Amino acid sequence: MAEIRLKTPLTEGDVEKLGIGDRVLLTGVLYSARDAAHKRLFDLIQAGKDLPVDIRGQVIYYVGPAPAKPGRPIGSAGPTTSYRMDPYAPKLMEMGLKGMIGKGNRGAEVVEAMKKYKAVYFGATGGAGALLARSIRKAETVAYEDLGPEAIQRLEVEDFPVVVINDTKGNDLYVEGAKKYRR
């Protein structure tokens, strides 16, 4: 299993060299966004308005962190199940989004969009919220504070561990992995 270090924002060249099963350590900025924030972003796009963050080259992390204890940047922060963001993801990739971090299967349209717009889907270990929070150095809310755990946060990460689930060629680690060990 290859281990690759990447800095965000990601370029088309960065994502095109990734293949399923690659272990990647991300350093730079991730934006947190989950169900309610995605709906708001999508509504802005539909209305032809600017988004609160420029998502070109960025990576969105599907996470709703636990509250930070005093003296810490963030509480537990593992991935949430991604399929709920499927209706919104292709549009965001069309606008330049290069990566998504979550867990669980994506729909066919999302996988197609990753091929078309050159983007990848990373998996982070579900449930490992305490461990993953250690890679997050700083967190600040940049939009939708009223959504509480669903607000958009700018997360500064160092060596944030992820695995490539869907690459830009349409491969799927979930399909290939299960095939290999099915009895």
Partner 1 sequence: MREIQAEQIVRAVRDLFIDANCNLGEDVLAAFDRAIETDESPVAREVIRELKENARIARDEQSPICQDTGLAVLFVEVGQDVHVTGGGLKEALNEGVRKGYGEGYLRKSACHPFTRANTKDNTPAVIHFDIVPGDRIRIVAVPKGGGAENMSRVDMLSPSAGLEGIKEFVVRRIEASGSNPCPPTVVGVGVGGTFERSALLAKKALTRRIGERNADPELAKVEIEVLERINRLGIGPMGYGGNTTALDVFFEVEPCHIASLPVAVNVQCHAMRHKETVL
Which residues in this chain contact partner 1 in the complex, by CB under 8 A? 1, 21, 35-36, 63-69, 75-78, 80-81, 83, 103-105, 123, 125-131, 133-134, 147-149, 163, 173-174, 176-183
Number of Cβ within a 10 Å radius of residue 11 = 13
Q: Which amino acid is at 134?
A: R
**What residues are annotated to the active site?**
38
Q: At closest approach, how far in Å is the CB of 169 from partner 1? A: 18
Q: At closest approach, how far in Å is the CB of 57 from partner 1? A: 26
Q: Which is nearer to partner 1, 148 or 170 (CB)?
A: 148
Q: What does the longest C-alpha to C-alpha distance in the chain come to?
A: 51
Q: Which is nearer to partner 1, 159 or 176 (CB)?
A: 176
What is the Cα–Cα distance from 98 to 154, expressed in whole angstroms? 16
Q: Which is nearer to partner 1, 11 or 81 (CB)?
A: 81
Q: At closest approach, how far in Å is the CB of 81 from partner 1? A: 4
What is the Cα–Cα distance from 175 to 88, expressed in whole angstroms? 23
Contacts of residue 103, Cβ cutoff 8 Å, sequence gap at least 6:
62, 79, 80, 81, 82, 123, 124, 125, 126
